Amino acid sequence: MRKKMLLCLLVLLCHAYVSTLQAQTTTKITGTVSDDSGAPLPGTSIKIKGGGGTVTDANGAFAISVEKGRTLIFTAIGYETKQVTVDGSVLNVTLGVDKKILSEVVITGVGTATSKRKLGISVESVTAEKLVSGPSTSIDQALIGKIPGAQISSVSGNPGDPVNILLRGVNTVQNGTKPLIMLDGVQVSATDLNSLDLSNVERIEVVQGAASASMYGAQGANGVMQIFTKKGKRGPIAVTYSTNYASNSYINSGGVEKARLHPYLTDGNNNIVDASGNILKYTDVGSIEGISYAYGGATRYGILDPRNIANKPYNANLKYYDHFKQVFQTGTSWNNNISISGGSDKSDFSLGVANNHTVSPVMKNGYVDRSNLTANLGTELFKGFKLRSITQVIYTKNTTVPGLGGAGGYLYGKGNTAGKNDNIYSFLNTSPFFDLTYKMADGNSPAYQTADFLSINAFNPYFVKQYASGLDNKVDIVQSFNANFQVNHFLELDAKYGINYRTEKATWTYRNQTQNANTMLYDSWAYQFANDATGEIDNWNYNTTFQNFLGSAYIRTDFEKDFNIHLPIQTTTQISYDYRKNKYKEEDVYGLGLPLSPPVNISTAKQLFVAPYSTTTKTTGNYEESFITYGYLINQKIDFGDYGGVGGGFRSDWSSAFGSGASPFTFPNVFGYILPSSFNFWADKLENRIPYFKLRAAYGEAGIQPGPFDRYPTLDQNTVGSDVVYSVPVTGQNPNLQVEVSKEFEAGTDLTFNAAKGKWLNTVNASFTYWKRKSENVIYTVSAPPSSGATGILNNAINMSSKGYQFQLNLPLYHSKNFNWDFTTNFSHQTSMIDKINGGADIILTSAAGSTALVLTAGQKIGQIFGYKALTSVDAVNKNGTKYISEQDAGKYQVVNGHLVDTTTRGIQFSSEAYPLGDPNPKFNASFISSFGYKDFLTFSFQFDWIYGSHLYNQTKEWMYRDGIHGDFSKPVTINGTTAAYTAYYGSAYSGSWGSLYGPGNNATKDYFYEDASFLRLRNISVGFDFAKVMKIKYFNKLQLVMTGRNILTVTHYTGFDPEVSSGAVNSSFDRGIDNSTIPNLKSYAVGLNVGF
């Protein structure tokens, strides 16, 4: 027993001695990590060779306990890895820029994490710090100008409205340009891009065409945009909080206003009078009776009397009211978000809460409030097996009024429709001597402020605000699970499942308006379905469930390491199965006949109905669609060391099993790349100047599926009296429809070159891509035989083509220890053509934006606007070559402001035949982004976007011309040597056509209103000051005050509100160049605070 006790004591003494020796040889090492200019590198990974490690803090500093003689490995993204042996002294490590800087790892387009330097396709990426540079609160808005080649435009300033996204050319006619949206590896279909939390984004990757999106098969022709959310990082728990408050007003870069001078009959004191000389007064219901032109009498077409001149101010009995100031006010937005994240060697977490509250600038009629709750949790259960769950729950409340931007309407739940805003611009035809805020004696707003033949299309948005209300409640759940198992060196298994659920209910209430005297006199009320003024309630109910499963196996080999074959060959084989199911259900009901006193709800309505058939959406209020598509993918990639590589494969897709969808459709792809900079000959002569140079090329095919019911023969449902009846649809479905196929070739280069030594232009990165595409089997309606009962049938009727190029240039203009200046420019050009239409006939379309005509013509660019041209010379001829004006009549005409004018009628002369007026799409898009940093506490950045060669049809102006109230009518023109504001000159632009002052030319599409919409816009400007860095505040690693501006400067010749808007269908492939009473974008000023602990 005694011996055992002595032995235990001896062991304990030995252990204590050894521990003391270890303590003496382990020391706490401190230091910093910086780049070549001396700037700190936060987040640098420091690993102890053999196990253990840490990361640098926001100042690039670190502390680590390690034994002397051990090796520390320093790694940072974009910098060369460095190994340092510990000798006990302070370590100040400098990392040089990686000469192979474009070795950024991406996933989109290749399926698994792959270095950019080993790709044969173009993949663009934007990190979080480059996205959040202004008061924008949505991902789509933040991306504008950031992606080379992408045309992302904010087409409406209405809160919550989607943007138009065109990544690479137009591939389709009826199916739109919206790309496939993915979130952390699975598709998001039910939730809008602008509903996702911008503050939770880590980075965004984009592949833009069929060559790079072929792996996505029948969903990938419009490109793919993938969002990666933030994960927790190893180290102590990090807490961040940010808030900003913004003031928002609408852009009016064209100085749009109503005419401040008028041509009406007046007395000697400039009172506007009737034909008998009686001074006009407002009636009890807020209208004017007896108004007359000075010449031509009390008739609408008095505007075309050549003697009328708009030269009298509203300074007597009738005053001038600025309707745009009355309607377009200043809104606000307030954003708050907080996040908590952390991690260990095996697990990580990131939790976030965000809220955005935006008050509409349209008469402050309501607000949109969005709250996001996110959770990203990851763990390694055992060696090589990792699980991750990503959850985002979104609640959105929208109280904007229907007609003033409110959410709802047929198919609104599908996320491709802007809010109902038709009453916002209903005052465009209201004469400026009416006060929109006027209240009648009973305290009510008048609905219809008319003056006999003037303002006949008027409607008062303040009346809508008084009697209508909107409430939209929307809940989105985006959930994904990922299981990844690295079985061994050769095999990786990955499974992803995502479910995206949305439920939404929008309620429109139009209160009983029978007590409004103006309404009852003029039979004018606010409504959606009602045929009288007793009011209605509309309930729009939407439910969407989308599921996506993606299972993949990756087989990797390395000939040298695995097989001892002295060839630098690595192979990757991908085998995947992809399943997607979407179910959309809509139930729309409305009630008519509401009580005058509360309670007012659908249960108190006198009659209830299911929403009737809509000729626009071709749906009823009881609509449901399900769609399934699935397929498998096989890709093979072979890399030859660091010298180059080739790859290829195919994907086969099926869709809902009916007609041709029951057979697979296969999409092949092939790509290759070569790195001349990796060869010995390059290292000897060129490496110092161009350390990285890659050539790449790819060919791929991708598709767009037909619509859910395009292959199913269906009947339209209508009602006759109280009976339900069915009829053959005007456009018949086709069970033999094929998938629309895009076949694309792209080629490009990525390179890094050392422009200069020292602090200026040290390392420049550039990329360039040229692409060319053919689109076949494009679906559209063609004529059907009379025996079918339909006038047309869907068919694969059109072939299209597109081509373009894009480049990005990143310039570190100046880098020193205390000051950095970086510059990035993105540039793209693209064009899309109609190559062939079955049958050869042109397709004439009407814009969803109004009455503007569009045309699809073989050999012409897509999206051409079709209309009449103003004659520009007395020698003008028609399509047959016949001159419009004989030589003996030539003296009766004169060119005024580029238009041929009849000097007698003072009317502009237009052609008698319609022509394609032009392509509204821009010739090129460019952005210029500069960022500056002084030490670690002061930042400044700005972004200019330049859109050149775009056009808009200014139908807003055209409709204001009808009643002679556009501001142009006050502008003098010189005709026959006399200068005056002739109403006939401007009025003829609306109503004239060859041989007629009015009639067939009324509201016809004319090139007079087709305008150059090129613009240069200061998209973002931001300055930040970090007090925590200057004042060394305890517990804070960031306390940054930020002031930002967005869209605060626009330079353009466009005479409308905003050259960036478009009134056509959202993401339409052709309906993109119309400004029909579109809500302009917002000009914003914001102040914010970013806090980090």
The per-residue pLDDT for 378 is 96
For the domain 2-94, what is the CATH code? 2.60.40.1120
Mean pLDDT across the stretch 1082-1089? 94
d(CA 257, CA 150): 33
Listed in sequence order, the residues at least 6 apart from 1046 whose beta carbon sits closer than 8 Å to its beta carbon are 134, 135, 136, 1019, 1020, 1082, 1083, 1084, 1086
Above 70 in pLDDT, residue 714?
Answer: no
* Residues 91-134 pLDDT 10s: 889 887 665 444 577 787 777 788 888 888 888 888 888 886 56
Higher per-residue confidence, 388 vs 1064: 388
Task: Name the band, by pLDDT with cuts 50, 70 and 90, for residue 658.
Answer: low
Kindly report which listed range (53-67, 385-399, 992-1006, 1025-1039) carries the lowest average pLDDT score.
992-1006
Above 80 in pLDDT, residue 16?
Answer: no
* Residues 336-346 pLDDT 10s: 999 999 999 89
CB 512 within 8 A of CB 155: no
CB 354 within 8 A of CB 371: yes
Listed in sequence order, the residues at least 6 apart from 205 whose beta carbon sits closer than 8 Å to its beta carbon are 106, 107, 108, 109, 123, 124, 125, 225, 226, 228
CB 250 within 8 A of CB 361: yes
The per-residue pLDDT for 85 is 87
Mean pLDDT across the stretch 962-989? 95
Task: Name the band, by pLDDT with cuts 50, 70 and 90, for residue 151.
Answer: confident
The per-residue pLDDT for 271 is 97
d(CA 611, CA 1057): 35
The per-residue pLDDT for 788 is 61
Please give the backbone phi and psi of residue 381, each rounded to the nearest 5 degrees, phi first: -70, -45
Outline which parts of the chain fall under CATH 2.60.40.1120.
Answer: 2-94
* Residues 537-583 pLDDT 10s: 999 999 999 999 999 999 999 999 899 999 999 999 999 999 999 99
Strand partners, 741: 703, 776
Question: What is the β-pairing status of strands 731-732 and 792-815?
Answer: parallel
- Assign 819 to helix, strand or coil: strand
Average pLDDT of the chain, as a whole number: 88
Task: Name the band, by pLDDT with cuts 50, 70 and 90, for residue 852.
Answer: low
* Residues 423-449 pLDDT 10s: 988 898 899 999 999 999 999 999 999
* Residues 156-187 pLDDT 10s: 778 878 778 888 888 888 777 888 899 999 99
The per-residue pLDDT for 14 is 46
The per-residue pLDDT for 527 is 95
Kindly report which listed range (13-17, 490-494, 805-809) carries the lowest average pLDDT score.
13-17
Please give the backbone phi and psi of residue 440, each rounded to the nearest 5 degrees, phi first: -75, 175
Please give the backbone phi and psi of residue 836, each rounded to the nearest 5 degrees, phi first: -155, 140
CB 437 within 8 A of CB 461: no
879: left (phi over 0), alpha (psi -120 to 50) or beta: alpha
Above 60 in pLDDT, residue 1001?
Answer: yes
Task: Name the band, by pLDDT with cuts 50, 70 and 90, for residue 984.
Answer: very high
The per-residue pLDDT for 960 is 93
Above 80 in pLDDT, residue 459?
Answer: yes
- Six-digit token pair at 355? 């809220």
- Six-digit token pair at 719? 């009602």
Higher per-residue confidence, 290 vs 846: 290
d(CA 297, CA 961): 19
The per-residue pLDDT for 549 is 96
The per-residue pLDDT for 964 is 93
Question: Which of 283-287, 420-424, 1079-1083: highest mean pLDDT?
Answer: 283-287
Higher per-residue confidence, 127 vs 272: 272
The per-residue pLDDT for 103 is 57
11: left (phi over 0), alpha (psi -120 to 50) or beta: alpha
Task: Name the band, by pLDDT with cuts 50, 70 and 90, for residue 482.
Answer: very high
* pLDDT above 90 coverage of the chain, percent: 57
Above 70 in pLDDT, residue 725?
Answer: no
Above 50 in pLDDT, residue 838?
Answer: yes
d(CA 235, CA 348): 10
* pLDDT above 70 coverage of the chain, percent: 91
Above 70 in pLDDT, residue 21?
Answer: no
CB 68 within 8 A of CB 86: yes
Longest dimension (CA), the chain: 138
For the domain 105-234, what is the CATH code? 2.170.130.10
The runs of H, that is alpha helices, within 295-403 are: 323-327
Task: Name the band, by pLDDT with cuts 50, 70 and 90, for residue 823.
Answer: very high
* Residues 179-192 pLDDT 10s: 889 999 999 999 98
* Residues 501-549 pLDDT 10s: 999 999 999 999 999 999 999 999 999 999 999 999 999 999 999 999 9
Above 70 in pLDDT, residue 70?
Answer: yes
The per-residue pLDDT for 23 is 43
DSSP code per residue over 234-256: SEEEEEEEEEEEEEEEE--TT--
Residue linked to tokens 């004529």: 783
Above 90 in pLDDT, residue 221?
Answer: no
CB 602 within 8 A of CB 608: yes
Task: Name the band, by pLDDT with cuts 50, 70 and 90, for residue 786.
Answer: low
Q: Which of 350, 463, 490 is nearest to 403 (CA)?
A: 463
The per-residue pLDDT for 1 is 47
Task: Name the band, by pLDDT with cuts 50, 70 and 90, for residue 720.
Answer: low
